[in-house]
Amino acid sequence: MAFAVDIDAGTAERGASREPIARPPGKPKNAVLAIENMNCGGCMRKIERVLETAPGIASVRANLSAKRVTVAFDPQDTGTETIIKTLADAGFRAADLAHNNIDDGNLADQDLLRRLAVAGFAAANIMLLSVSVWAGLASDMDEEVQSLFHWLSALIALPTVAYSGQPFFRSAATALKAWRLNMDVPISLALALATGMSLVQTIRGSEHVYFDASVSLVFFLLIGRYLDQSLRSRAKGAAQNLIGMKSGWATVVAEDGTSERMPARALEPGMRVLVAAGERIFVDGRIVSGRTDIDEQLITGESVPRSAADGDRVYAGTVCLTAPIEVEATAADKDTLLADITRLMETAEQNKGRYVRLADRAAAFYAPVVHTLGLITFLGWMWLGGGWEMALTTAISVLIITCPCALALAVPAVQVAATSRLFNRGVIMTAADGLERLAEIDTVVFDKTGTLTKGTPELSNSAGISEETLAAAAALATNSRHPYAQAVVRAAQSRGVRVVPTDGVVETPGAGLSRKSAWGDEERLGSADWCGIGPNSTSVDDSEAGASLWYRPSRGDPATAFQFVDVLRADAAETVAMFQSAGLGVLLISGDQEAAVKDAALTARIEDWFAEQRPNEKIAQLRKLEAAGRCVLMVGDGLNDAPALAAAHASLSPASAVEVSQIASDGIVQGQRLAPVIEAVAVGRRTRRMSLQNFAIAAAYNAICIPLAMAGFVTPLIAAIAMSASSIVVTANALRLTTAKLKL
């Protein structure tokens, strides 16, 4: 192949090997991608190798635990969409994540981890300096050496407490500015008094200082704070990865006819968007060109697609199935049907405000009691003549021993164990108090399409169709994205029929597929009208009258009916039966047609069911249950389920659910089975029980140790050790949940 190249005289003289003039690189950009199928170290290394050799890539950093990769690239040479395609060619499904969705949680985790590391390092070093003093060797030391050890401890402790204690100091300052108390107020007071008094004692040359107690205290408290933050970040990050997989790119057509690919979140009203067959529509608008079938299942719950042509309205979240269309956007993000449902969801979600964590409930009276006990101890020892130094030391011991470390860990430790267990069993909890509310439910409400059922039609009369007919119909069906056509192909493959795609197939949106043979005859696969099956046809018996799809061969043979059903998930009936046997009520509330809902309810053995329910009607049904004193768990996946998910006492959604439903729910269920829903409820109930056990442990610890501290039998260091021991006991109790055998 020859190429025409213009070469000037100077270039010719220097020879053909001259290097091209280097273009200055553009300003580097960063992209964070969620990788769905990065499951091992080998996957991580392969991703890094693939991207490092791609053009325009400056650096790559993969994170296996978060299933994300951060890429720095030159926008002049490549872009996010190209990087995603490169990964797809290598076998990895990736999605772009917006930075503002991920940075806050990561930064909070890293900040607490840094402070925890500093506190742990400082505590170990101060303990080394204190061992000689507390082990009884102080009497063999010169006063100058002992004073040196104290000053070295002070040099380590003061900046450590000032830096590592900032999360507690900031929280306490915020509470005091609002004229209220929280758990961080006594913590901050204990840290400040213990450190300040130790500094004064060091300056005076006293024998006893408690820098080791101050730093050990902040170290153990940060462990609890980090566990809580890590739990929230992990749940949020996993949910964002799933949501990111649902985001996409749209093709925008300019006035001059050129097209540009841009993130769906950047679309605006007035833009013309080209939607290919099989793509999701990202805007509310009207069709200006083309005719297709629209899958509105995620919005309406209706599993049968509708036909749409020029001038028809379409909505964000629906899918263009059979032919490309051009849509003019008429609504921005805040004005779409999706946004309306989101606002309805947010209104319903306000009911969740009364649910707070058990530890926060205890904080309302715990902090004032701690301060009162410390003050009583100080005044009591002063009245007994112990002197201000003895009185203050004893009061500090009381503040340290009553620091709510065990109380603060009581819920987070159990939640970490519970969410880890659920994560391994396919449930990602996204709400901090979701487990608490799951423990209280006594009624389960299922949506139908995509939740109780698989959400994809299956050929129900495959056994009555010959292999020859099934193979011919599947050959046509391979050319369409329509769910019925895809179901025909799956049915043929499951029977071992060899499916050979055929050429010359024409798809007529809203009608079906057709192909002309060499003899001029035409075979068709589609609706009854499309295949020439009239309502009064004598060749159609009663069992075939409601068929959704027909195949008419080209030879003039009789047409064959294809009947479909949206089958239940494999364990749907078993899951319903287990809930019912445990004494929980089970209902089915769906936006689908009455016949389909009734059939699903009978198959799953659900007695109470409601069909053709709009979002506000679903909320009304939940309100009736709530008024009757029921605590409802809602399980749903569509946009029309989002308000009900937010309004329910607790809620779960499948991983295949639309983004807004995942945001509205308390947890996300992965996989094709419903058994994880049972596991989530069982774990929620055990979590509540173990949280109460941990509160009892913390209460018993305080009942024993506080009187001893007030009586002067506990030094600040012993108080810090006792407080740490109570935290270890609470954590060990929580870890039992990871291996416990649970039943409803």
Q: Can you list the positions of beta strands (E) in 518-619?
A: 522-526, 549-552, 560-562, 564-568, 585-589, 608-610
**Residues 602 and 633 grouped into a single domain:** yes
d(CA 563, CA 553): 17
d(CA 625, CA 628): 5
Under 8 Å between Cβ of 289 and 275: no
Cα 431 to its chain centre, rounded Å, is 9
Looking at the DSSP bridge assignments, the partners of residue 179 are: none
**Residues 557 and 571 grouped into a single domain:** no
- Percent helix / strand / coil, the chain, rounded to 5: 55, 15, 30
d(CA 675, CA 652): 12
Q: What is the mean pLDDT of residues 17-29?
A: 50
d(CA 312, CA 301): 19
Give the list of residues 6+ apart from residue 472 with CB closer than 8 angstroms, or none: 523, 551, 553
Q: What's the order of all strands across the beta sheet hosting 68-73?
A: 57-63, 68-73, 29-35, 94-97
Tell whether 629 is covered by a domain: yes
Tokens of 472: 């011919």
Would the pLDDT of 15 be above 50? no
Looking at the DSSP bridge assignments, the partners of residue 313 are: 286
- Of 562, 591, 617, which residue constitutes the final position of a domain? 562
Most confident of 45-49, 546-550, 721-725: 45-49
**Residues 588 and 715 grouped into a single domain:** yes
CA angle 173, 174, 178 (to 5 degrees): 110
- Of 76, 97, 118, which residue constitutes the final position of a domain? 97
pLDDT > 70 in the chain, percent: 77
Tokens 């011991």 identify what position?
397
283-313 burial, b if ≥16 CB within 10 A, otherwise e?
bbbebeebbbbbbbbbbbbbbbbeebeeeee
Give the list of residues 6+ apart from residue 549 with CB closer than 8 angstroms, or none: 484, 488, 512, 525, 526, 527, 561, 562, 563, 564
Would the pLDDT of 354 be above 80? no
SS3 of residue 514 by DSSP? strand
Looking at the DSSP bridge assignments, the partners of residue 261 are: 251
How do residues 407-429 score in pLDDT, each as one tens digit? 667 777 787 788 778 877 878 77
Q: What is the pLDDT of residue 628?
A: 92
**Between the CA of residue 514 and those of 501, 503, 571, 736, what are the distances in Å?**
13, 11, 38, 62
Q: What is the mean pLDDT of residues 343-370?
A: 51
Most confident of 319-333, 423-437, 614-628: 614-628
How do residues 56-88 score in pLDDT, each as one tens digit? 888 888 876 567 788 888 877 887 778 888 888
Tokens 């039943």 identify what position?
743
- Of 328, 344, 360, which residue constitutes the final position of a domain? 344
* 334-338 contacts, C-beta under 8 A, 24 or more apart: 335/269, 335/284, 336/283, 336/284, 337/284, 337/299, 337/639, 338/284, 338/639, 338/660
Would the pLDDT of 345 be above 70? no
Q: What is the mean pLDDT of residues 159-171?
A: 91
Q: What is the CATH number of the domain that holds 261?
A: 2.70.150.10
Q: What is the pLDDT of residue 351?
A: 40
Q: What's the order of all strands across the beta sheet hosting 522-526?
A: 506-508, 512-516, 522-526, 549-552, 560-562
Amino acid residing at 557: D
Tell whether 117 is covered by a domain: no
- Pick 728 or 104 by higher pLDDT: 728
Q: What is the pLDDT of residue 588?
A: 93
**Residues 555 and 592 grouped into a single domain:** no
Tokens 């064959």 identify what position?
560
Instruction: Quote the mean pLDDT of the chain.
Output: 77
d(CA 226, CA 715): 27
SS3 of residue 236 by DSSP? helix
Domain that holds residue 340: 249-344
Q: What is the pLDDT of residue 521?
A: 79
* 148-155 contacts, C-beta under 8 A, 24 or more apart: 150/201, 150/202, 150/209, 150/211, 151/202, 153/126, 153/129, 153/198, 153/202, 153/209, 153/211, 153/212, 154/198, 154/199, 154/202, 154/209, 154/211
**Residues 524 and 587 grouped into a single domain:** no
**Residues 615 and 519 grouped into a single domain:** no
Under 8 Å between Cβ of 225 and 112: yes
**Residues 542 and 626 grouped into a single domain:** no
Q: What is the pLDDT of residue 509?
A: 74
Tell whether 109 is covered by a domain: no
Q: What is the mean pLDDT of residues 653-669?
A: 72
Q: What is the pLDDT of residue 230?
A: 66
d(CA 481, CA 495): 21
Tell whether 42 is covered by a domain: yes
Tell whether 620 is covered by a domain: yes
d(CA 155, CA 138): 20
Q: What is the pLDDT of residue 347?
A: 45
Would the pLDDT of 580 be above 90? yes
Would the pLDDT of 161 be above 90? yes
Give the list of residues 6+ apart from residue 605 with CB closer than 8 angstroms, or none: 573, 576, 577, 580
Tell whether 586 is covered by a domain: yes
d(CA 75, CA 70): 15
Give the list of residues 6+ apart from residue 655 with CB closer than 8 angstroms, or none: 242, 668, 669, 670, 671
Q: What is the mean pLDDT of residues 511-532?
A: 82
Tokens of 716: 């600040």
| Alpha-carbon Rg for the chain in angstroms | 33
Q: What is the pLDDT of residue 605?
A: 92
Residue 245: pLDDT band with limits 50, 70, 90: very low
**Residues 546 and 695 grouped into a single domain:** no
d(CA 525, CA 512): 6
Amino acid residing at 151: W
DSSP 202-227: HHHT-S---HHHHHHHHHHHHHHHHH
**Residues 338 and 418 grouped into a single domain:** no
Looking at the DSSP bridge assignments, the partners of residue 668 are: 428, 653
d(CA 338, CA 661): 11
Tell whether 4 is covered by a domain: no
Q: What is the pLDDT of residue 5?
A: 34
Q: What is the mean pLDDT of residues 645-655?
A: 85
Looking at the DSSP bridge assignments, the partners of residue 272 are: 253, 328
CA atoms within 13 A on the CB side of 408: 23
Longest dimension (CA), the chain: 116
Q: What is the CATH number of the domain that holds 721?
A: 3.40.50.1000
d(CA 341, CA 661): 10
**Residues 505 and 648 grouped into a single domain:** no
Would the pLDDT of 708 be above 80? yes
Q: What is the pLDDT of residue 9?
A: 36
Under 8 Å between Cβ of 479 and 620: no
Q: What is the mean pLDDT of residues 81-107?
A: 69
Q: What is the mean pLDDT of residues 601-623?
A: 89
Number of structural domains found in the chain: 4
Least confident of 468-472, 703-707, 726-730: 726-730
Most confident of 204-218, 470-484, 507-521: 470-484
Under 8 Å between Cβ of 632 and 648: yes
Q: What is the mean pLDDT of residues 124-141?
A: 66
d(CA 708, CA 210): 19
Phi and psi dihedrals of 368, rounded to 5? -60, -35
Q: Residue 278 region, left (φ>0) first, then alpha (ψ -120 to 50), else beta? A: left
Q: What is the mean pLDDT of residues 657-677?
A: 76
**Residues 633 and 698 grouped into a single domain:** yes
Indicate which residues carry an active-site annotation: 447
Looking at the DSSP bridge assignments, the partners of residue 195 are: none
Would the pLDDT of 159 be above 80? yes
Q: What is the pLDDT of residue 532?
A: 79
Q: What is the 3-state secondary structure (H, E, C) of 404-427?
A: CHHHHHHHHHHHHHHHHHHHHCCE
d(CA 349, CA 646): 5
Using a 10 angstrom Cβ sphere, with 0-12 exposed, 13-18 middle and 19 or more buried, the burial of residue 498 is: exposed
Under 8 Å between Cβ of 544 and 561: yes
Q: What is the CATH number of the domain that holds 494?
A: 3.40.1110.10
Q: What is the mean pLDDT of residues 548-575?
A: 85
Tell whether 168 is covered by a domain: no
In terms of DSSP H, where are the helices of 532-614? 572-581, 594-604
**Between the CA of residue 694 and those of 322, 472, 726, what are the distances in Å?**
58, 66, 10
**Residues 510 and 657 grouped into a single domain:** no
